[in-house]
């Protein structure tokens, strides 16, 4: 029997890191064949040309989709989405996948879902049903859900939300978050190895900082970042920064991070893309995470690390008890509270609600054994 072709489409370093354990399981399967399309930030030198890391990890890239329009505006994101749709149609036509596997809520992910839907290719979606009220990601995520046929959710409440959206319960599975698999199964770097690799040392107190644009916020990003940096400087901690993603105003954030790190290179270090191994290793050794990224909400709990979550980007996402939400005005005092022995001890006792490291097994087992002929039959009937 021929293997079932599962086509993964990825556009960012963070998304690829979450995909990684699932892709490895597909690659090792005797029932599935992995097809891989990389796009957007992966192919941009500005964001670290992270397709090279994908190849270094042992994956063959079937298609490279160069769709990122180099401008820091909303119209550029719309154009990048349209270009991805055009190019992906050719890629899908050539690869003829049996299933397109997508994760999350990026604009290029939406383009991939739209293209696959219109080409009558079944879509399997990871991390649907989640709420992030401060970002356009929410509308994108729910839209992808309605275009998808199979759903793999990170928690049971998210499964119930997808069912409330009208999806068939027999096609919605609580799998957990694949990022937890990496924490359980990857052999992380030692602190000394990571410091040598980064050419930077953790301090007495250190933080990992990732901050993405709040896409539904029309505030002054320059003033916002300046306020954040003022609070970080007063907190007197060493900080490892990663780049923001390629959303509107992402480049503004990255330029300001670069300038800020130049003010004290011994305390502040920026890396365009840490990659999954270095990122998780850093998460293990810092004292807290600061920013507004989903990894603080989802993965950090597995390390029992405090998280200072700034603003509304992640508003509505379920938390495990290690997260403190704050605004710009309360950022400095929140960092102080997160570093207190009382809150540090609280974090040591929490369980991560997003899974226990078996997500990729669940997803690959379902992709391997579900009757695909029934999926295609239903797709034809529904349209």
- Residues 17-71: pLDDT tens digits? 999 999 999 999 999 999 999 999 899 888 888 899 999 999 999 999 998 887 7
Mean pLDDT of 221-236: 93
Tokens of 358: 């078996």
Nearest to 307 by CA among 317, 320, 315: 320
Percentage of residues in the chain having pLDDT higher than 90? 79
pLDDT at 316: 86
Query: What is the helix (H) or strand (E) element at residue 315, kind and residue range?
Result: none
Q: Scanning the structure block, which residue is given the tokens 């699932």?
A: 22
Q: At what angle do helices 191-198 and 275-285 cross, to 10 degrees?
A: 120
Residue 373 has pLDDT above 80, yes or no: no
CB neighbours of 54 closer than 8 A, spacing ≥ 6? 10, 16, 36, 38, 42, 61
Q: Are the C-beta atoms of residues 69 and 99 closer than 8 Å to each other? A: no
Measured distance CA(116)–CA(140) in Å, rounded: 15
Q: Where are the alpha helices (DSSP H) in the chain?
A: 13-28, 51-56, 74-95, 107-118, 137-147, 156-164, 178-185, 191-198, 221-235, 250-262, 275-285, 294-298, 331-338, 341-347, 359-369, 372-382
Q: Please return the burial class of 223, using the count of CB atoms within 10 Å of its CB with bins 0-12, 13-18 and 19+.
A: exposed
Q: Scanning the structure block, which residue is given the tokens 């939300």?
A: 161
**Beta-strand pair 288-291/268-271:** unpaired
Question: How confident is residue 136, by pLDDT bands cut at 50, 70 and 90?
Answer: confident
Tokens of 342: 């009382």
Question: How confident is residue 208, by pLDDT bands cut at 50, 70 and 90?
Answer: very high
Mean pLDDT of 230-258: 90
CA atoms within 13 A on the CB side of 328: 13
Mean pLDDT of 115-136: 90
Supply the pTM of this predicted model.
Answer: 0.87
Q: Are the C-beta atoms of residues 172 and 159 closer than 8 Å to each other? A: yes
Question: How confident is residue 140, by pLDDT bands cut at 50, 70 and 90?
Answer: very high
Residue 305 has pLDDT above 70, yes or no: yes
pLDDT at 273: 85
pLDDT at 382: 58
Residue 170 has pLDDT above 70, yes or no: yes
Residue 134 has pLDDT above 70, yes or no: no
Measured distance CA(97)–CA(380) in Å, rounded: 16
Residue 380 has pLDDT above 80, yes or no: no
* Termini Cα distance of the chain: 29
Q: Are the C-beta atoms of residues 243 and 41 closer than 8 Å to each other? A: no
Question: How confident is residue 14, by pLDDT bands cut at 50, 70 and 90?
Answer: confident
Between 124 and 316, the more confident residue is 124
* 206 φ/ψ angles, rounded to the nearest 5 degrees: -135, 155
Q: Are the C-beta atoms of residues 33 and 6 closer than 8 Å to each other? A: yes
Residue 301's SS3 state is helix
**Beta-strand pair 123-126/99-103:** parallel
Q: How many CB atoms lie within 10 A of CB 123?
A: 24
Q: Please return the burial class of 187, using the count of CB atoms within 10 Å of its CB with bins 0-12, 13-18 and 19+.
A: exposed
pLDDT at 46: 83
pLDDT at 47: 83
For the chain, give the mean pLDDT. Answer: 92
């Amino acid at each position: 029997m021929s293997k079932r072709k599962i086509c993964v489409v990825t556009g960012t370093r963070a998304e690829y890191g979450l995909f990684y354990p699932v892709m490895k399981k597909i690659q090792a399967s005797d029932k599935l064949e992995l097809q891989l399309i990389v796009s957007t930030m992966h192919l941009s030198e500005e964001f670290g040309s992270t397709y090279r890391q994908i190849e270094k990890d042992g994956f063959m890239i079937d298609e490279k989709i160069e769709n990122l329009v180099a401008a820091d505006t909303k119209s550029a994101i719309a154009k990048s989405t349209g270009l991805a749709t055009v190019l992906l149609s050719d890629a899908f036509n050539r690869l003829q996948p049996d299933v397109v596997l997508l994760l999350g809520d990026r604009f290029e992910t939406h383009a991939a879902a739209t293209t696959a839907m219109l080409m009558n290719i079944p879509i399997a979606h990871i991390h649907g049903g989640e709420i992030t009220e401060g970002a356009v990601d929410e509308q994108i995520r729910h839209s992808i859900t309605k275009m998808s046929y199979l759903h793999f959710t990170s928690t049971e409440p998210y499964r119930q939300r997808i069912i409330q959206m009208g999806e068939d319960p027999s096609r919605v599975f609580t799998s957990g978050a694949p990022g937890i698999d990496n924490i359980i199964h990857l052999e992380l770097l030692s602190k000394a190895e990571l410091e040598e690799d980064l050419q930077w040392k953790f301090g007495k107190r250190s933080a990992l900082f990732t901050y993405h644009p709040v896409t539904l916020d029309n505030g002054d990003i320059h003033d916002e970042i300046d306020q954040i940096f003022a609070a970080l400087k007063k907190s007197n901690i060493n900080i490892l920064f990663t780049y923001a993603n390629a959303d509107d105003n992402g480049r503004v954030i990255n330029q300001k991070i670069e300038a800020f790190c130049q003010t004290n290179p011994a305390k502040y270090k920026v890396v365009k893309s840490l990659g999954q191994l270095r990122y998780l290793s850093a998460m293990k050794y810092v004292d807290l995470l600061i920013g507004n990224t989903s990894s603080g909400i989802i993965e950090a709990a597995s390390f029992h690390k405090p998280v200072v979550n700034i603003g509304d980007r992640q508003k509505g996402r379920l938390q495990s008890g290690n997260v403190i939400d704050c605004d710009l005005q309360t950022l400095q005092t929140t960092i102080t509270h997160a570093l207190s022995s009382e809150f540090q001890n609280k974090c040591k006792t929490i369980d991560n609600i997003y899974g226990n490291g078996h997500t990729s097994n669940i997803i690959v087992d379902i992709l391997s054994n579900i009757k695909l002929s029934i999926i295609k039959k239903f797709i034809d009937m529904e349209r």
